[in-house]
A = this chain, B = another copy of it.
């Protein structure tokens, strides 16, 4: 339940963002959303065309938040290698999984272009941004010449996404940490070649 100074529309979007992260699209009902937002049926159908429309707005908002979070790590302090390792190591709440990545296993999302688009674009953006940082590292001779920046970036992002899967399966964040630590170790070694 949100504070009164947020508009009903905002409370609806926020509640939907949370539920999409926790349970996914198909498993989230309008009733769940309304209860968490402290709103009635009418409000939702006044502000949005329906569940899908609201979910679309919520996903776009979550996508923007994820980009902002990742951007801070990748454009922050330190050398290119430091920043890639910051992206790997500073993920929080690994048991919650990825707001965007989890949607790829929701059949309704895959089948609905408006819902898949923010997911596809955001993950694509993360890979592209890591690729840019690694390319910079190659220019600065922190990574060897001939490094395939896109392959390396794909591996880095996949390690994070897959680390979430392993941690959720074991219900243990240590499984995530082992994966990203393994990737960070290899990257450090690669940069010293």
Q: A residues bordering B, Cβ < 8 Å? A: 22-24, 26-27, 97-98, 100-108, 110, 116, 119-120, 123-124, 127, 148, 150-166, 168-171, 175, 178-183, 185-187, 189-190, 193
Contacts and interface: CB of A to CB of B under 8 A. Distances in A.
A178 B161 contact: no
Contacts of A158: 158-163, 165-166, 179-180, 182-183
A86 B160 CA distance: 21
Contacts of A127: 166, 175
A64 to B, nearest CB: 17
Given A162-B160, A163-B158, A181 B120 contact: no
> How many copies of the polypeptide does the oligomer hold?
2
A20 to B, nearest CB: 11
Contacts of A171: 110, 116, 120
A87 to B, nearest CB: 13
